[in-house]
Amino acid sequence: MGFLIGLVCPQCKFLNKWGETICQRCMSPLDTGGSIPIKEVQIFHINKGGRGLIYSSSNAFSISIGRRGCDISFDQDMYLSLVHARIENSIEGLKVIDAGSYNGIFRKVRGSTNLRPSDVFICGAQILKFLGVLGRLTPYILPDSTVFYGSTIPDGEYLMVQQILSTRKMGNLYLKPAPLTIGREKADILFPYDKFLSATHCSITATENGFTLTDLNSANGVYIKVRGSEPISDGDILLMGQELLLIRIIEKN
Ligand SMILES: [Zn+2]
């Protein structure tokens, strides 16, 4: 219940606004004793030239973010869908929900995060898709038993990372054994032209439990695409379109 904003009914679990004394669904009395600290969510627009604090509420809420007609609108940002995202409060805590946007919502990686095949992530100005493991190559046999003439690579597990271009087409495909690094100067996958990348920016490692994406203390951070809906907590930074939003959850006394 760490990020709860509002009062949960002990009978029916409905999330009520602060200040209610009886449940607005089942009319049970609510515990309004002074022991529960009131929490407030704050959203800061932290781009260069951002607007600072743009939203705050200490009550049960659902907030829409997009290009037009939303609780928070950025009408100049053509990378945003009209309704792009929602931030919702529920008894499971605060979560961010992709409202069916074209370009997705990205969350800044704090240290490391689990990475799954088909995840999309951003480092510098590169938008990259992790395609998983290539695995061992088995020669392709054509119908008349001819063996297909294709490149071979050394045995071992190779990770596949592909660039997504602004034309909406896929760019270069990179095949590198794990662990791999991505950066501008010293890395396995290099983008020398990308001034927003650090020399060695991030890494992908293979573990027993899958794959891990790690920010190697880069200057501009690494962002991973939100898979549908995910819990968010104090200090999370969300990138949608060209807007950077910092989420704070403050205890009010
Ligand atoms: Zn109730």
* Cα–ligand 1 centroid distance for 13 (angstroms): 6
For the segment 3-43, what is each residue's pLDDT rounded down to a tens digit? 567 888 889 988 888 878 899 999 999 876 656 677 889 99
* Cα–ligand 1 centroid distance for 165 (angstroms): 50
* Cβ-Cβ contacts under 8 Å for 158 (sequence gap 6 or more): 133, 134, 135, 175, 176, 177
How high is the pLDDT of residue 240? Answer: 97
CB of 5 closer than 8 Å to CB of 58: yes
Local structure of 195: helix, strand or coil: coil
* Cα–ligand 1 centroid distance for 15 (angstroms): 8
Q: Which residues of the chain have pLDDT under 70?
A: 1-4, 32-36, 253
Q: Quick one: tokens of 244?
A: 């950077």
* Cα–ligand 1 centroid distance for 32 (angstroms): 14
* Cα–ligand 1 centroid distance for 10 (angstroms): 7
* Cα–ligand 1 centroid distance for 29 (angstroms): 8
The pTM (predicted TM-score) of the whole model is 0.89
* Cβ-Cβ contacts under 8 Å for 28 (sequence gap 6 or more): 9, 10, 11, 12, 22
* Cα–ligand 1 centroid distance for 1 (angstroms): 17
How high is the pLDDT of residue 39? Answer: 83
